[in-house]
Amino acid sequence: MDGVGLADKDQVVIGEKIKAFRTARRMSLRTLGDLTGTTASFLSQLERGLSGVNTSTLMRIAGALGVSLTDLFEDTAPPIGRVLRKHERPALPPAEGYRKMLLSRRPIRDMEVYIGEFDPNGSTGDEPYSHGNSQELFLVLRGEVELTLGEERHRLSAGDSIEYLSSVPHKTVNIGTETAEVLWMIAPPTSVADDLDKYLPRPGS
């Protein structure tokens, strides 16, 4: 594949970044190759700084890893102790009876965390959904909800939690009379860049 005219040092940095994000997600070279239309052998050479890469392929790799092109070029350590204020949480466009916000700072490395608010009878949608095959922990912070998990239904109150694989179809409904608040923690991350780009900064944040 054509390179992007990078210096050898830049190729090494990008390769190391790709490998770090890929291994943090427990993603194999073959899986990343399938997601990006490349091959495991090409990606292996790329991660070792032995191969160049064109811009479109690099964008597909970044998207599959849930990061931006900038994240692959920056040779910096992840921030430590960076506070995210409640009013600054990036959020999905609100759905009727349901609001979901991203707590993890991008680029997401080892774990992604979300918080959701449900009005009475609000839910994640009509149908259960699944994503990846990671460990997911669901914690009820406030209120009372029903979590559908495959063929099972679990009634959970504030302080209750449950763990499951994110590949199991799941759905959340607020069955209480007050606003419910829940937390999702997923490791390794399953979201790609297109998913994360839907979480927009709050007005004025």
Cβ atoms of 109 and 78 within 8 Å: the answer is yes
Which residues span the domain enclosing 188?
86-196
For residues 173 and 147, what is the distance between their CA atoms, to the nearest angstrom? 7
For residues 17 and 77, what is the distance between their CA atoms, to the nearest angstrom? 11
pLDDT of residue 9: 61
Does position 157 have pLDDT exceeding 60, yes or no?
yes
66 shares its domain with 91 = no
3-state secondary structure the chain: CCCCCCCHHHHHHHHHHHHHHHHHCCCCHHHHHHHHCCCHHHHHHHHCCCCCCCHHHHHHHHHHHCCCHHHHHCCCCCCCCCCCCHHHCCECCCECCEEEEECCCCCCCCCEEEEEEECCCCECCCCCECCCCCEEEEEEEECEEEEEECCEEEEEECCCEEEEECCCCEEEEECCCCCEEEEEEEECCCCCHHHHCCCECCCCC
Q: Which of 46, 73, 100 is the last residue of a domain?
A: 73
**Residue 33, φ and ψ in degrees, nearest 5:** -65, -45
178 shares its domain with 119 = yes
Q: Which of 43, 73, 103 is the last residue of a domain?
A: 73
Q: How far is CA 180 from CA 64, 141, 156, 159, 170, in A?
A: 32, 7, 11, 12, 17
pLDDT greater at residue 71 or residue 131: 131
68 shares its domain with 134 = no
CA 18 to chain centre: 16
Q: pLDDT of 53-90, one tens digit each? A: 888 999 999 999 988 888 887 766 666 678 899 999 99
Q: 146 in a domain, yes or no?
A: yes
97 shares its domain with 157 = yes
Task: Provide the token pair at 39.
Answer: 């091959």
Cβ atoms of 64 and 32 within 8 Å: the answer is yes
Task: Provide the token pair at 168.
Answer: 């199991």
Q: pLDDT of 185-194, one tens digit each? A: 999 999 988 8
For residues 62 and 53, what is the distance between their CA atoms, to the nearest angstrom? 12
Does position 2 have pLDDT exceeding 50, yes or no?
no
**Residue 121, φ and ψ in degrees, nearest 5:** 75, 0
Q: pLDDT of 39-55, one tens digit each? A: 999 999 999 988 888 88
Q: Which CATH number characterizes residue 185's domain?
A: 2.60.120.10
Q: pLDDT of 18-34, one tens digit each? A: 998 898 888 899 999 99
Q: 78 in a domain, yes or no?
A: no
- pLDDT confidence bin for 205, thresholds 50/70/90: low
Task: Provide the token pair at 83.
Answer: 């506070």
Q: Which CATH number characterizes residue 38's domain?
A: 1.10.260.40
